[in-house]
């Protein structure tokens, strides 16, 4: 039986790490879907008009450093933020890459306005927030464009009806995750 020295083991470990990184990036590359020429939910109804972030308490502004997936990202101060009221596919689930890519388009390297509902953090110590880019309500946009399902958890249910209506329209129009 052949014995491997420390140098050979280190090289094998490095090659394994490179392979894992390559595999990870290979599996997260996805195509972008262009909704501009379709009649999407956000073009059909003006649901955003019922949301006014300027009159809400607990407003914070930060820059986004890294997007984890379609409903979670990391701020430049290192805190993780989880969108309230929505759920996007997890890694290895259908439409994960599309949802993550859309979130990257919306928030990566941009200043976001974070608005708290009732809860401060979830069980993973992520900030639970409604997220805005200028006047764009990111949580709602992800549902309207079919990248997210509604997942409201009490007591953070301020926009439950708004999200449910956006999801109903996205389903009706077979948008995004509802296209299958």
What is the domain-level CATH number for residue 105?
A: 2.40.50.90
In a domain, 31, yes or no: no
In a domain, 24, yes or no: no
- Full domain range(s) for residue 116: 41-179
Q: What is the dihedral of CA 91, 96, 99, 103, to 10 degrees?
A: 20
In a domain, 69, yes or no: yes
User: Residue 119 contacts by C-beta under 8 Å, 6 or more apart in sequence?
Assistant: 128, 155, 156
Tokens of 144: 């309207």
Tally Cβ neighbours within 10 Å of residue 40.
Answer: 17
In a domain, 133, yes or no: yes
* Domain tally, the chain: 1
* Maximum CA extent, the chain: 73
In a domain, 22, yes or no: no
91: closest CA among 25, 28, 20?
28
In a domain, 26, yes or no: no
In a domain, 146, yes or no: yes
Q: Is the pTM here over 0.75, yes or no? A: no
Strands 127-133 and 80-83: parallel
In a domain, 12, yes or no: no
Q: What is the pLDDT along the chain (180 residues), one digit of tens a residue?
A: 567 688 887 777 787 777 666 555 555 433 333 334 334 334 333 444 445 544 445 688 999 999 999 999 999 999 999 999 999 999 999 999 999 999 999 999 999 999 999 999 999 999 999 999 998 999 999 999 999 999 999 999 999 999 999 999 999 999 999 997
């Amino acid at each position: 039986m052949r014995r491997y020295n420390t140098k050979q083991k280190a090289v094998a470990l490095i090659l394994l790490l490179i392979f894992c990184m390559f595999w990870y990036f290979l599996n997260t590359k996805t195509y972008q879907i262009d909704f501009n020429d379709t009649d999407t939910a956000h073009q059909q109804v003006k649901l955003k008009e019922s949301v006014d972030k300027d009159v809400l308490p607990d407003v914070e502004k930060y820059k986004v450093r890294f997007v984890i997936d379609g409903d979670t990202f990391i701020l430049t101060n290192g805190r993780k933020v989880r969108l309230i009221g929505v759920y996007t596919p997890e890694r290895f689930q259908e439409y994960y890459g599309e949802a993550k890519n859309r979130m990257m388009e919306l928030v990566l390297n941009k200043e976001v306005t974070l608005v708290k509902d009732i809860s401060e953090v979830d069980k993973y110590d992520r900030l639970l927030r409604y997220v805005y880019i200028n006047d764009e309500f990111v949580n709602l946009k992800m549902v309207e464009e079919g990248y997210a399902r509604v997942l409201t958890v009490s007591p953070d249910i301020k926009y439950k009806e708004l999200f449910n209506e956006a999801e109903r329209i996205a389903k009706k129009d077979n948008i995004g995750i509802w296209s299958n």
